[in-house]
Amino acid sequence: MNSGGGMKTNRGDTLDMFPVDVRSPPLGHTMIDLFAGAGGLSEGLREAGFHSLYANEIKSRHAETYALNHPGTIVDARDIRLVNAEEVREELRLAKGELDLLAGGPPCQGFSINAPVRSGDDQRNHLFKEFLRFVGEFAPRAVLIENVPGLVSFADGETLAAILDALKGLGYCADVRILYAPHYGVPQMRWRTVIVGLQDGTCLRDVFPEPAHQAPLRVNFTSKFGGRNIVSYPAEMELPAHISVRDAIDDLPTLKNGELGNPVKPYRTPPQNDFQRILRAGSAGVVNHEAANLSAVNLQRLAHIPPGGNWTNIPEPLLPEGMRQARRSDHTKRYGRVDPNGLASTILTKCDPHWGAYFHYDQDRAFTVREAARIQSFPDTFRFSGSRVEQYEQVGNAVPPLLAAAIGRSLSLALRHNGLATKELASAV
């Protein structure tokens, strides 16, 4: 953690030695990203026309990956509680109200419905206040906060209500939706709570993206807030089907258990569909694609699991001792071999088969980092730094870029509509 001195760029320079493209960003919308992780949210927003001027991420390896993939962005790895927001704004040479979007995902573990303890005393929960501090300083045209679905029910909804009230107090009309990633072309069962705020006077209608795909789903969390349902469902019945796991990764090179191979590998096939074509754009080969070495007992277990199967297909003598007494209706994703025609389990911070369906559908191994990244919808040009363990963590913690891009396109339209309305009002006056 760098707690003193000048703010650092991704090249190690001080902030007042910006690359020219940060001082004079390209056409499009400007943004900054707080609690940025490896950059999944920024990656999707970039596809929607947003240019990230500054990102803050305290985990050094995540920040390194962000910098590697966003060379025109200032990446600050200091604890955000030690960062002076006014200094950042002044160094970026932005007047209050000039920034288009302030986006980010404050740490969500304390809000997760899967966390063992969800306490208001968890210091991670209070990092929302740091995000709001930046909102107050920059007064951006729009605010985007993403989190887990459990945020809606945390403290009986009081935390979410407080965030919306705080945004209102800062001059924003704000609303919340729970979005399902497969509805936007992401091939995994992943839900995110999304809060969008626009400056007072801006209409929030259509600011959340409409689902573009049909997909099987199961809601196992609180889906109502303020007496209304906030889960976005498809409005049309004739939408395309979801993107399957096979759709997502079947063109990637075949690997044996534990096989590393060359750092850059040729694709197994030409692109087989639009998803592969889009994610392969500009890529000269496959990186971050190495097979972890499964233990002998896990290979024995895997031999009994068909595509779409799970731990219940494993003979009892081969089961972990703690699972031998489990009901067969429990833990249905553990030791799962993913259904190639279905959706993947939510990609977590490690593709450990004990916690989910992370066995490949027809290769006797677990997903590689690149396969996990594809399932998260990262483009193949996006490179992850660090050890394989660190790379899995970066992928699992990220916002799926295709989901972020869908949100970004809706936000971009809202900002442009508001800009035109403002100009028309000014001319009328």
Residue 196 DSSP SS3: strand
Look up tokens 């986006």; give the residue.
103
**Which neighbouring-strand residues pair with 8?**
14
**SS3 call for 187:** coil
Rounded distance between C-alpha atoms, residue 157 and residue 129, angstroms: 17
| Active-site residue (options: 108, 173, 203, 351) | 108
Distance, in Å, from the CA atom of 87 to the CA atom of 55, rounded to the nearest integer, reads 14
Q: Hey, how many other C-beta atoms are within 10 angstroms of the C-beta on 255? A: 19
Would strands 142-147 and 191-199 be described as parallel, antiparallel, or unpaired? antiparallel
Q: What are phi and psi of 337, to 5 degrees?
A: -100, 115
Tokens (6 digits) for 79: 């604890």
Give strand pairing partners of 143. Answer: 102, 197
* DSSP H or E stretch at residue 392: helix 388-397
Q: At what angle do helices 388-397 and 60-69 cross, to 10 degrees?
A: 80
What type of residue is 73? T
Integer angstrom CA distances of residue 371 from 44, 47, 116, 394: 18, 21, 29, 13
∠ Cα 122 232 176 (to 5°)? 40
Q: What are the beta bridge partners of residue 112?
A: none
Q: How many DSSP H helices and E strands does the chain contain?
A: 12, 9
3 state DSSP class of 289: coil
- Residue 108 bears catalytic tag: yes
At 192, give phi and psi (nearest 5°): -140, 140
Which residue, chain included where needed, has tokens 């209070």? 126
* Type of residue at 342: G
Catalytic residues: 108
